[in-house]
Amino acid sequence: MSGRFAGKTAIVTGASRGIGLGIAERLVADGARVVITARKPEALEEAVAHLGGPDVALAVAGKADDLDHQADTVRRTLERFGSIDLLVNNTGINPTYGPIMELDLGAARKVVEVNCIAALSWTQQVYAAWMKEHGGSVVNVSSVSGIRPAPGIGFYGATKAMLISLTELMALEMAPTIRVNAVAPAVVKTRFASALYEGREEQVAAAYPLGRLGVPADIADAVSYLLSDEASWVTGQLLVLDGGVTLGGVGE
């Protein structure tokens, strides 16, 4: 699509499918080399082939909140491509559904670890290894459930609210050479969100002023902009990507 990221390298977490893969695909189209992470090696290898092969993409399998996996990914990124100019903290989990008064606290701690602490530790590792000396840009993938109460997935939303707060703090601490922003999608048509619309997509989409649910490309386009020099005076901001649904109520 453009050469805005020519010569630059991105790490995108949680990118074997869905929003993460859509972001990686857009960054490659814009000239970047990408390193993608997720838990399942087979899915990652399929994603690498989809992205254009080893000249432009590298897969590193592991758990997003595993510090050794993070360090290994950073090391292998620098060995293969020589820089880490862009970071997208996309990994998120939501293993529970229901009222928070019935929430298993062990599950709650795991959601915080993956959705919040892992985003911080990925950023710390990339900062120490490259961005502290060379600068860069970071985007965190939050959710509209982080800005509006979302019954049933309320604790997931609470972690996404924390991620928004972390985004602002990171932006303050790492300026002026590193920019940090976030996006907050509503329901996007992915396997992760399928329980929120499957079998009733038309009914769910009717609540959206723009008349449809999101697709990964909607998020990828916005992330590419925020990572790019076109957003060089934008940091610490949250871009809501919701088809207008939060104008009149609660989205995902």
β-sheet with 57-61: strand ranges across: 57-61, 33-38, 9-12, 86-89, 136-141, 178-185, 238-241
Overall residue count recorded for the chain in this entry: 252
Q: Which residues are catalytic?
A: 156
Please tell me whether the peptide bond between 41 and the residue prior to it is cis, using omega within 30 degrees of 0: no
Angle, CA 48 vertex, CA 44 and CA 51 arms, to 5°: 135
Whether 189 and 182 have beta carbons less than 8 Å apart is answered as no
Q: Is residue 241 within 8 Å of residue 222, measured between CB atoms?
A: yes
SS3 195: helix
Question: Can you point out the beta strands (E) in the chain?
Answer: 9-12, 33-38, 57-61, 86-89, 136-141, 178-185, 238-241
Helix (H, G, I), strand (E, B) or coil at 238: strand
CA–CA dist 145, 166 (Å, integer): 16
